[in-house]
Structure 1
Amino acid sequence: MLHHSKPGRSRPLAVSAAVLVAMSLPLQAQTPPQATGSPAQYSAVPVTAAQIDHAVANLDALAADILERSGIPGLAVAVVRDGATVYARGFGLRRVDAALPVDADTVFLLASLSKPIGATVVATQVSAGVVGWDTPLVDLLPWFALSDDWVTRHLTIGDLYAHRSGLPDHAGDDLEDLGYARRQVLERLALLPLAPFRATYAYTNFGMTAAAEGVAVAAGTDWASLSRNALYGPLGMTATSSLNAEFMARANRASSHVPVEGGYSVADLRQPDAQSPAGGVSSSVNDVARWMALILEGGAPLIAADALLPAVSPQAIASPPGTMDARGGTYGYGFNVGVQPSGRVMLSHSGAFALGAGTTVSMIPSLGVGIVVLTNASPLGAAEAISATFMDEVQFGHSTRDWFAAYRPMISALMAPVGHLAEVERPETAAPPRATAAYLGTYQNAYFGPAEVVEQDGGLALILGPNRQVEVLTPWDGDAFTYLPYSENAPDGSVSEVGFAAFTDEQAQEMRIEHLDAFGLGTFRR
């Protein structure tokens, strides 16, 4: 609301931003020949058909260049324009140890590209009147709760799809790493501290998964079946699935790869079914192109426009600007919603698995153009570089910068080992540990469950999670030990300190596991 003061008048006057812009322009400048739609839709940077043609024609060379510079095994690219797939091609290999080329039908793990696709599944149910974006989740999942009763009662599907529930960043991912199933993770979210409701943004795979579970219950089915029946089937996305077993069974499948000295090795370790609505979709670029065409057509004919529009509209401030001259970033319901330097709105999302996937999608509705890039290796910014370069060429006729050089250090930093002792040498003056018996036993934790310290091969081992993962404890300094976690959230080279404390009768009563202490819940007690 804007406030205008005049003598003798104190009532505020509401004026829309679009009207204000129009009022500030000279009359002859309000409707220039090339402008259509409202001032809010106007871009002062014209784009010709030939410009888009040129950008598409450059994709072969661009993708080949990024494949070589990044060293990743393989990638695939598809472009949609005016409702049709105008480019779809694979580059490199499905796996480094076999001569199996990637093509446009090769199926990849999408990682977090699952979020906008899953949000589209929800939009089909909003369109059908099964749920609304404002439906309270407890109306659908009475057993679901957060640590604040008021928030629990008011939390909606939209709140969770916009990451504004107050849950901490990546809440529940640590439980998934330990082997907990979806329902087990969702129930434990009630133990986490909350930031202010609807006032903070924090990216949460399992918050979004909870909302999707509620939608599936309302539809009378499970999430994977709902996705297949409501979206994948109607669009002809025959290579797309929300079940990891179906992905692993595909003949034309891109294996996941992780970096090793001198290159990459096949991992195929990521099993994302627990968070499938947020990270468990697998698909090909040909299939994702069909979905992009649907989004760029405003949902027609599958989804009513007013059911999709909230998802692709700003709902939360995801990245506040750091300076006065910087653009901020916003998030809709499962979609990043941003503004390009050209002034055009772009819908996007990236996906990343440290255990071997890097993906991205970008769409400019005003141009009817979208691009998807899927890769089969831990993210380096290769997918984002291809997408950003292509969108530069579409909008400006040339690339404005070396996008791979820009993205690589930023994204590589996100994949760095965790733990304050990573790459740190043990102190030469380190004290020896106590006798083994001082540490043995079972320690309890409401969030993570029990943890056992047992004797193994003359030393100590830590047993965690429902799958009883065994971690070897190495003496560090006195009552401090270390182990080497390796999971989606702890890349190779990570080190976790395990500290024992509160000794009674020469037995530790507490154990703090650094790797599990992100939310202050990493202390286990006898």
Structure 2
Amino acid sequence: MSSLVRAVVAVLLLTLGVGCASESTPQAPSAPAQADVPPPLVPAMALPENAVEDAVAKLDGIAERLLSESGVPGMAVAVVHAGETVYAKGFGVKKVGEDGAQNQVDADTVFQLASLSKPLAATVVAHQVGVGAIGWDTPIVTELPWFALSDPVVTQMVTIGDMLAHRSGLPDHAGDQLEDIGYDRRQVLERLRHLPLDPFRISYAYTNFGFTAGAEAVAEGAGKPWEQLADEVLFEPLGMASTSYRFADYADRPNRAVGHIHADGRYQPTYVRDADPEAPAGGASASANDMTRWLAMVLANGSHAGKQLVAAEALLPALTPQIVSSRATEPAMRSGFYGYGFNVGTTSGARTELSHSGAFLLGAATNFLILPSADVAIVALTNGTPSGVPEALTAEFADLVQFGEVREDWYGLYSKVFAEMINPEGSLAGKQPPADPAPAAPLSSYVGTYHNDYWGPATVTEVDGGLQLTLGTKFDARLSHWDGNTFTYTWVSENFPPGSVGEVTFDGDTLTIADYDEFGMGAFLR
């Protein structure tokens, strides 16, 4: 199974300071003694003079270089410092193949955020926690009595916070392929009960639909849909007029960036990614200018326009470690952590860093990064298959702020990892069929409806002298004979990149789809 979000989490280890600076890098002056400041708040070195201003001055060049090197169609970048937006600009185009000024990206262009939806969602939850409507430790079943996991004990114990910290024990990206084939939010969440669990609260595995379950419990407690709750408690109070958790709102924006998939060596606006089923975890859209309002509020510990929009004591748990997300592999290495919807780490300058990436294979890559001790935050939104561009830009900016220079080849590091993560999937991808394959049985012998509790029914029909396989409401693929009772198919989805080749095997009344067998549940019975 391919997952761009999994790739983002892996790559984020670099952003959290795993990379080491060159030994020849000159060190900034040590911070002066601060007897009145607790040691955990003292950074390793002082910021360079005019640190943020000088870093901002270099953003145009960084953005233009990264777009040129990567071929990504468009990007919007914004910076917040000391409560003000000090930079907001667009680069490139909204859609490849269209000309004119109206196609140029600006700071008000709306992008799909992908997993940047999670820290926004965590802020909505923090608001509800702050007003006493819900708690981070509220069990999911208190609000969603129909929800269950495979272990009945864990079902009763798993909380909203567990889900937003990815520590429920659910497998990595559980439920994502159910969304791929067309199931809606409730249908996916109900099927999570069939999945095996890792040890509860000591295992970290990134799960969009686990996160969504936590958000749904909060919405149920508020008595309104998640999308409406987010509007009322966060987007409207902050004046984020172009931000929404509804795909239809994004699609209706006249100033929006279209998603582009990277295939055949170029970015193409071929597919549309509707993430409504996992909206709290991946379905938001916003402009860079809108995101600055949220970033400023987070930097101000929940305060906006002189009022406490989100209680600081309710927001703090989201911004601080709740579980180890990337454990160090040697004593000198810094580990990475996850709060509630936020990556939390420590830079090589001994400064806490909050961040998150978002990624759609079908056409979105986003990143934000906050350095609370420098009172600065940056966001970068792009409209192409992830290649490390937004992560590299924010990492270069963070280096400039802390050290006055870029200390790593961030784009080289990120682009390599992302390139490996979007390779074609499937056990037969890139392979040649047998030169002398065994014949298939009569096609009619394969026809029928095959049942599976997790995936739902798979239907095989005979159409125009061949076999057609349908699964869910979106998967509809032509089967091509490979060898004996083995067939292949191709299709493109968020988790099945171009060039992937799936494998289907028939054995009497059993149909096995190899690419849907990750949890040992790929067998369908006729």
State the TM-score, normalizing by the size of structure 1: 0.92
Counterpart of 1:500 in structure 2 is: 506
The size of the alignment, in residue pairs, is 490
Q: Whole-Å Cα distance in 2 between the matches of residues 171 and 81 of structure 1?
A: 37
Q: Is the 8 A contact 1:36 1:42 kept in 2?
A: no
Contact 1:482 1:498 in 2 (8 A): yes
Equivalent-residue separation in structure 2 for 1:217 and 1:523 (angstroms): 35
Q: How does 1:81-160 map to 2 (within 5 A)?
A: 81-99=81-99, 100-160=103-163
Decide whether the 8 Å contact of 1:267 with 1:356 is kept in 2: no
* Distance of 2:123 and 2:292 partners within structure 1: 14
Structure 1's unaligned 5+ residue stretches are 1-30, 502-507
Aligned residue for 2:407? 400
Of the three residues 450, 475, 482, the one matched with 2:457 is 450
Aligned to 1:15: none
Change (3 A) 1:394 1:499: same
Counterpart of 1:71?
71
| Cα distance in 2 between the residues matched to 1:433 and 1:271 | 38
Matched position secondary structure for 1:72: coil
Encode CA deviations 1:121-156: one digit per residue, 9 max, x unaligned: 000000110001001111111111111111011110
**What's the offset of the Cα at 1:35?**
6.4
1:237 and 1:290 in contact (8 A); partners too: yes
2:220 maps to which of 217, 220, 231: 217
Say if 2:276 is the partner of 1:273: yes
Q: Per-residue displacement from partner, 1:372-399 (whole Å, max 9, x unpaired)?
A: 0000000000111101001000000000
Matched residue type, 1:62? I
Confirm or deny: 8 A CA contact 1:480 1:499 kept in the other structure: yes
Aligned residue runs from structure 1 range 207-246, under 5 A = 207-246=210-249
Q: 1:152 to 1:384 in 2, by over 3 A?
A: same
Three-state SS of the structure 1 residue aligned to 2:129 is: helix
- SS state of the match for residue 170, structure 1? coil
Q: Which residue of 2 aligns with 1:255?
A: 258
Are the aligned partners of 2:48 and 2:403 in contact in 1 as well (CA < 8 Å)? no
Separation in structure 2 between the aligned mates of residue 437 and residue 491 of structure 1, nearest angstrom: 31
1:127-206 mapped onto 2 (5 Å cutoff): 127-206=130-209
Secondary structure in 2 matching 1:366: helix
Shift of 1:199: 1.2
Cα distance in 2 for residues equivalent to 1:380 and 1:125: 36
Shift of 1:32: 4.7
After the TM superposition, which segments of 4 or more aligned residues of structure 1 sit over 6 Å from their partners?
A: none
Amino acid at match of 2:503: E
Quote the Cα distance in structure 1 between the aligned partners of 2:351 and 2:44: 9
Q: 1:432, CA displacement in angstroms?
A: 1.7
1:37 alignment counterpart? 37
Q: Distance in 2 between matches of 1:172 and 1:405?
A: 32
Superposed, 1:372-451 pairs within 5 Å as: 372-451=379-458
Q: 1:447 to 1:52 in 2, by over 3 A?
A: same
Deviation for aligned residue 1:171: 0.5
> Distance between the aligned counterparts of 2:496 and 2:271, measured in 1?
16
Give % identity: 52
- Letter of the 1:485 partner, please give it: W
CA distance in 1, matches of 2:265, 2:277: 33
Q: Distance in 2 between matches of 1:262 and 1:198?
A: 42
Alignment deviations for residues 46-72 of structure 1 (CA, whole Å, 9 cap, x no partner): 104512211000000110000100001
Distance 1:416 1:468, change over 3 A: closer
| TM-score, normalised via structure 2 length | 0.92
The verdict on how the C-alpha distance between 1:111 and 1:36 changes in structure 2, with shifts beyond 3 A counting, is: farther
Match of 2:358 in 1: 351
Taking the aligned partners of 2:387 and 2:35, their CA distance within structure 1 comes to 39
Per-residue deviation, 1:268: 4.3
Q: Distance in 2 between matches of 1:110 and 1:339?
A: 24
Cα contact 1:474–1:481 (8 A) shared by 2: yes
CA–CA distance in structure 1, aligned partners of residues 176 and 58 of structure 2:
39
C-alpha change, 1:36 and 1:235, in structure 2 (3 Å) is: farther
Deviates more, 1:436-445 or 1:236-245: 436-445
Structure of higher CA gyration radius: 1
| Structure 2 gap ranges (5+) | 1-30
Alignment partners' CA distance in 1, 2:459 and 2:173: 26
Separation in 1, partners of 2:243, 2:120:
11
Distance 2:142 2:486 in 1: 47
Does the 8 A contact of 2:77 with 2:288 survive in 1? yes
Partners of 1:255 and 1:268 within 8 A in 2: no
Asked whether the 8 Å contact 2:517–2:523 carries over to 1, the reply is yes
Aligned to 1:523: 523
Q: What amino acid is the match of 2:487?
A: F
Q: Distance in 2 between matches of 1:124 and 1:468?
A: 36
1:263-342 → structure 2 map (5 Å cutoff):
263-300=266-303, 301-342=308-349
CA gap of 1:236–1:474, structure 2 versus 1, over 3 A, is same
Q: CA deviation at 1:422?
A: 0.7
Superposition deviation, residue 411 in structure 1 = 1.2
Q: C-alpha distance in 2, partners of 1:186/1:135? A: 18
Offset at 1:415?
A: 1.5
What SS does the corresponding residue of 2:219 show, helix, strand or coil?
helix
Distance 2:218 2:376 in 1: 30
1:260: Cα distance to partner? Answer: 3.0
Instruction: Tell me which of 346, 367, 376 is aligned to 1:360.
Output: 367
Indicate yes or no: 2:479 matched with 1:473. yes
How much has 1:323 moved relative to structure 2? Answer: 2.1
Higher relative contact order (CA 8 A, sep 6+): 2
Secondary structure at 1:330 match in 2: strand
CA contact (8 A) 2:127 2:233 kept: yes
Letter in 1 for 2:489: Y
Q: 1:49 to 1:81 in 2, by over 3 A?
A: farther
The question of 1:484 aligning with 2:487 is answered no
Counterparts of 1:445 and 1:404, CA distance in 2: 43
C-alpha distance in 1 between matches for 2:332 and 2:426: 35
CA distance in 2, matches of 1:49, 1:174: 49
Secondary structure of the equivalent of 2:199? coil
